[in-house]
Amino acid sequence: MRAYGRRHRRWSRRNPQPLLLLPDEPLFVVALATIGRVLFRYRSGLAPFAAGLALAVAGLFLHHAHPELWPVVALVAASAAMALGLRIRRTAERVYAATTTTVAGGWLATATAVGPTTKPLPTVLALAVVVLSLPWWAHRRRRARVRVDRVIHAWPDLAENIGLDGSRIMSAVVDTWGWRGRVKLRAGQSVADVVARVPAIESALGTRPGAVRVEQDPAHAGRCTMRVLAVDPHAGAIPWQGPTARSLADPIDIGVFEDATTVRIPLLRRHALIGGTTDSGKSGVLNVILGNLVACPDVVLWGIDLKGGMELRPWAACLGRLATTPDEATQLLADAVAVLEARAHAASHDNTRVWEPTPESPALVIVIDEYAELADTAPAAVGHAESVARRGRALAVDLLAATQRPTQKAMGGGALRSQMSIRVCLRVRERRDVDLILDKGMLSAGWHAHTLDAPGKFYVLADGHNQPRRARAYLVTDEHVRETAARYANTRPDLDTLSQAAIDQPPRALDPAPSPPSDPEQALLAALNLAPENGLTIPELIDATGMRRTWVYDRLQALAAAGNARQVSRGRWHA
């Protein structure tokens, strides 16, 4: 008997029985409140009947008060119908709005003149309400609003089940692809908690996997925007409409976000990294950027493609140089270093801080396809690329690198990657690759590039793009590439005289001392004593001493403090 009692108590706790509570209010008040709740819950579906009732009341009032105003009512109705026809974009919605406004305005003008009870006006109003209600009830956006209202009311229970108890949806808006809501979190909760529970939210809402997006509210740490997509806006490819930039200073349009806004990134004095696995769409993003850069008369393009030029050769007519072997790539990057050093020397004499690109003095953008291959086959080129990345931005010598996986080894221990202020991450195979391409901690912050499900879909991290918003790049076909390259091939600029002279001047080798000292300290002093008037660069001093860069910097600072060395200009030293 005691065992039965225990089982009964456990069953009662798990299955509580409903209790009938008798209210203190009169039954009429309770019934009225119940009817009010039902009407409020189904207010969207009952909207046509409410509109018909309001129309009848308005007609009755106008007929008794101002029957002579029926022409004004007709004119206002016609103007409203025309305004709605011009304002609404979708054809079906435009026709429905114009028809409804015309019928309602015509009936109200007639009721104002002869009275709403005059036959057959009541019958016409009833038939109009019924007929015009059918498209209203069938409209998907109205049904979506009803579903969203139900989600808002059920959210407290859903939030408790998924571990976000205390949060609430403050407001929601239905759009073409789904809906988005502003979520207020409980004190102590953060957007990271919401991002970590996105799969649970999708399960609670009954959506498809990958349908929920979460964005931080920039004005409040305890609020976020949750976007739920019923239809993927990027299910199909987006054709490229041609270049939009006419100068390197213009932002470049590379694709479209899920809310139909354009993805625009500025490339002037910025290095860019494009990462993604095979068949993720790296070449497509690269072609979009190149298609815009070739239309800019203030930029010279150099290319490195160690796959025999397979990716960049279609743009060869618009490229100043194209390297397809490791030796050519090393020489090209060495020449880029010579260009930036010549520009730095000129800027120091002119007392200017930045190089302003013009058609006569254009910027230099070096495009590297598959940077990891360059690091494996031409390790000497990596040092030159790092030098360009560190010093080239102010001098308008920029890098645009694409790679499948920017590992620590491929990116020079992260020194090069840290200089990339624009990062485009397409689909990756492993979750950890998100942090390799974008930055540490981005995966946990909601940048889920491993869930991208189509070529060309990407995340972008740049100035003005610090939220994990999915986008899709424009589709650039081979025909687009051929037409664009042929169109701008004859308008491409040449390097300025200063930069070209730095490339044409043969590299000056250090004059060897009669008996090279084995001591690196003596080698450093000898190199500084034999340096020309404009001094020696740090790479040249590294070659002369055989020591690491940090050692050379430390010894130069010590020699400068002792009065035995001086810095002639930025990066150049003399005894």
Q: What is the pLDDT of residue 225?
A: 92
SS3 506: coil
Q: What is the pLDDT of residue 506?
A: 57
Tokens of 480: 């687009």
> What are the pLDDT digits (tens) for 64-102?
888 887 888 788 878 887 787 777 767 777 787 888 888
Find the helix or strand (DSSP H, E) in which 480 lies.
helix 478-488
> What are the pLDDT digits (tens) for 13-36?
445 545 445 556 677 777 777 787
Beta-strand ranges (E) seen in 370-450 are: 397-403, 420-425
Cα–Cα distance for residue pair 459/477, rounded to 1 Å? 22
- Go through the chain and tell me how many residues it has: 575
List, in order, residues 6 or more apart from 5 with CB less than 8 Å away: none
Please check the confidence at residue 169 and state whether its pLDDT lies above 80: yes
Q: What is the pLDDT of residue 481?
A: 94
Q: What is the pLDDT of residue 413?
A: 55
pLDDT mean over 301-324: 92
Q: What is the pLDDT of residue 538?
A: 84
More confident of the two residues 111 and 486: 486
- 3-state SS string over 188-210? CCCHHHHHHCHHHHHHHHCCCCC
| Reported confidence tier of residue 138, pLDDT bands at 50, 70, 90 | low
Would strands 420-425 and 457-461 be described as parallel, antiparallel, or unpaired? Answer: antiparallel
SS3 304: strand
| Reported confidence tier of residue 511, pLDDT bands at 50, 70, 90 | very low
Q: What is the pLDDT of residue 509?
A: 42
Half-sphere exposure of 463 (CA within 13 A, CB side): 11
Cα–Cα distance for residue pair 399/138, rounded to 1 Å? 54
Lowest mean pLDDT, pick from 193-202, 217-226, 239-248, 370-379 = 370-379
> What are the pLDDT digits (tens) for 516-575?
445 788 888 888 888 887 888 888 888 788 788 778 888 888 888 888 888 888 778 888
> What are the pLDDT digits (tens) for 425-477?
999 988 888 888 888 888 888 899 988 988 999 999 998 888 899 999 999 99
- Whether the upstream peptide bond of residue 120 has omega within 30° of 0, thus cis, is yes
**CA of residue 103 relative to chain centroid, distance:** 45
More confident of the two residues 509 and 213: 213
The pLDDT > 90 percentage for the chain reads: 32
pLDDT mean over 260-266: 91
Pair 253, 242: CB distance under 8 Å: no
